[in-house]
Amino acid sequence: MLLIDLARTSAAVAADSARLAKIGHLAELLGRVKPDEAEIAIAYLSGELPQRQIGVGWASLKDLPQPRLAATATLHQVDDLLSRIKAQAGPGSQSARKTMVTELFASLTGPEQTFLSRLLRGELRQGALDGVMIEAIAKASGVPSAEVRRALTLRGWLPAVGAAALGGGVEALRAFRLEVGRPVSPMLAQSATSVTAALERLDGPAAIEWKIDGVRIQVHRSGDTVSVFTRTLDDITRQVPEVVEAIGALPSRDLVLDGEVIALREDGRPAPFQVTSGRVASRTDVDSARRTTPLSMFFFDALRVDGADLLDLPGAERQAALAANVPAELVTPRLVTDEATAGETFFADAVRSGHEGVVVKSLHSPYAAGRRGAGWIKVKPRHTLDLVVLAAEWGSGRREGWLSNLHLGARDPETGGFVMLGKTFKGLTDELLTWQTERFLALADGPTDSWTVTVRPELVVEIAFDGVQRSSRYPGGMALRFARVLRYRPDKTPDQADTVDTVRALMI
DNA sequence: TTCCGACAGTGGGGTCGCAAT
DNA sequence: ATTGCGACCCCACTATCGGAA
């Protein structure tokens, strides 16, 4: 199969807004792909690469060569070249990559260049990724989509699952099992504004657990071999020796656990997320990193214990297996209750202890990996500030033509000016985008370039956020975490906006 | 007919390691 | 020595489609 076939299908998928039509286009292509090309086709058309990443990003794709007129590149040719690009290493590798990318693109037509460039930048923008591809695979192979999802949960890599479905149907999919040492797709959580609201949704007693502000880990143990994976199934075993040792010391020699790893301060309170993140990312001198910033771990689920797969069991039973096989100090603190007041108290305690909040979990739901099922619901406290819009950036994609991304400032009583604390594009409806674009253009004042419009600091906007972090990027030395717009405050003037001192007091 | 679950898109701040400058 | 880049860690929110109710 040729790359142009995929490029054409992708363009057709993008052109139709109806999901069923997208599924139709994708299924049609999957119907004519050869078995040995299926993984590549599924990966590309769901926005992924068989190589996962190849060290090429937007900067390497800035100026592409002239396109050719004849489309001849096959999927295998492109895939081989991407593998060779990925394999470059050491001094000179970056320019070697760039040369190879240029050569590759010089052999492609315009539509192929557009498709591959978007794919490599991780911006396919065809309105179809894994979720739609699952349905397309189901349609093309005549298999229920639930079977595809189940296999994806266990295998964690859709191209492999899709190729199996196309080649061997339901039987091939049912052959996928939880394999110790190979990560499964992690279960994710929805969110609610309060424990009370979360409990109402679950109806009946539920487990409420601390939400630890660290890095998600999935730990596999088979005999003496321990492997640790992140939420995106990256292998970080070498970076977290504490986890390897702790798991290696347990009596059970066959385990798959789900949990969180975090750096705690000496007083036992959590270090800022930045500290944990930096520690987990450290690869070159793990020993010294470990001495200065030791990691602790909290497990909250057991997917396999001593030969028994637990994914399909109710939450309460998996929890019992966890408690029976992992010492209490390694288990996330939890409370089982159906009383809202008890739950809210537990939540308040978690937050007072420095944690992110809680996750409310159904006692009945299976480990529904990869789907944001209603089984887990996270609850976090929300801070708000009234800040001033300093500038706005033009949006892209469906936000093209709208001023989208806001620069936010807090009032500085010392100077009478404003100190930028970060940006946000979240929480804006199309109506609000239209309104603010018009308003900002009327307020435009100061340096303006092709993507930023500076405005007179006159608009006050109420911003929700999760916390204040240390920042080397912004002049105040702090930045908001997960900032989003709640509403504009036309009733407020900039001199009534919150001050940098208020923000500083919130920094941990 | 209305409601709501699932998905994709649109970007946010931070860190590390490496190659280039 | 510093900077730019890629890859990841954490993520919230709205619009939309289409099946469920």
Rounded (5°) CA angle A236-A334-A262: 25
Identify whether the C-beta of residue A107 lies closer than 8 Å to the C-beta of residue A80. no
3-state helix/strand/coil string of A375-387:
CEEEECCCEEEEE
Active centre residues of A (catalytic): 211
Amino acid A249 CA to nucleotide B1 C1' distance, rounded Å: 60
Q: Which residue is nearest to nucleotide B9 (CA to C1')?
A: A125
At A446 the pLDDT is 86
Place of tokens 């409370």: A335
At A370 the pLDDT is 58
Q: Which of residues 28-87 of A touch strand C (CB under 7 A)?
A: 52-60
Sorted by sequence, the CB contacts under 8 Å of residue A401 that are 6+ apart come out as A394, A395, A437
Q: Which of residues 133-152 of A touch strand B (CB under 7 A)?
A: 133-134
Amino acid A118 CA to nucleotide B19 C1' distance, rounded Å: 24
Q: What order do you get walking across the sheet with A206-211 strand by strand?
A: A190-192, A376-379, A357-362, A206-211, A334-337
- Per-residue pLDDT for chain A (508 aa), expressed as one digit of tens each? 999 999 999 999 999 999 999 999 999 999 999 999 999 999 999 999 999 999 999 999 998 999 999 999 999 999 999 999 999 999 999 999 999 999 999 999 999 999 999 999 999 999 999 999 999 999 999 999 999 999 999 999 999 999 999 999 999 999 999 999 999 999 999 999 999 999 999 988 999 999 999 999 999 999 999 999 999 999 999 999 999 999 999 999 999 999 999 999 999 999 999 999 999 999 999 999 999 999 999 999 999 999 999 999 999 999 999 999 999 999 999 999 999 999 999 999 999 999 999 999 999 999 987 554 679 999 999 999 999 999 999 999 999 999 999 999 999 999 999 999 999 999 999 999 999 999 999 999 988 888 999 999 999 999 999 999 999 999 999 999 999 999 999 999 999 999 999 999 998 6
Sorted by sequence, the CB contacts under 8 Å of residue A69 that are 6+ apart come out as A109
Identify whether the C-beta of residue A485 lies closer than 8 Å to the C-beta of residue A406. yes
**DSSP readout, A370-426?**
TS--TTEEEE---EEEEEEEEEEEE--GGGTTSEEEEEEEEE-TTTSSEEEEEEE-T
Is A191's CB less than 7 Å from nucleic acid strand C?
yes
Helix axes A195-202, A340-352, angle to 10 degrees: 130
Q: C-alpha A336: how far from its chain's center?
A: 29
Closest CA to A407 of A446, A453, A439, A441: A453
Distance CA A240, CA A281 (A): 10
Q: C-alpha A100: how far from its chain's center?
A: 30
Distance CA A13, CA A21 (A): 7
Closest CA to A31 of A124, A181, A139, A132: A139
Distance CA A473, CA A452 (A): 17
Strand B positions with any atom < 7 Å from protein CB? 5-20
Query: What pTM value is reported for the model?
Result: 0.96
Closest CA to A56 of A122, A115, A125: A122
Identify whether the C-beta of residue A358 lies closer than 8 Å to the C-beta of residue A195. yes
Closest C1' nucleotide to A477's CA: B13
At A373 the pLDDT is 62
Is A405's CB less than 7 Å from nucleic acid strand B?
yes
Residue type, A50: P
Closest C1' nucleotide to A132's CA: B7
Closest C1' nucleotide to A469's CA: B13
Closest C1' nucleotide to A433's CA: C14
Q: Which residue is nearest to nucleotide C8 (CA to C1')?
A: A281
At A372 the pLDDT is 47
Q: Which of residues 271-290 of A touch strand B (CB under 7 A)?
A: 274, 277-278, 281-285
Place of tokens 């309105």: A127
Distance CA A292, CA A215 (A): 18
Closest C1' nucleotide to A424's CA: B12
Tokens of A363: 């006692």
Q: Which of residues 232-251 of A touch strand C (CB under 7 A)?
A: 232, 234, 236
Is A331's CB less than 7 Å from nucleic acid strand B?
no
Is A231's CB less than 7 Å from nucleic acid strand B?
no
Distance CA A2, CA A40 (A): 11
In a 13 Å sphere around the CA of A63, the CA atoms on its Cβ side amount to: 1
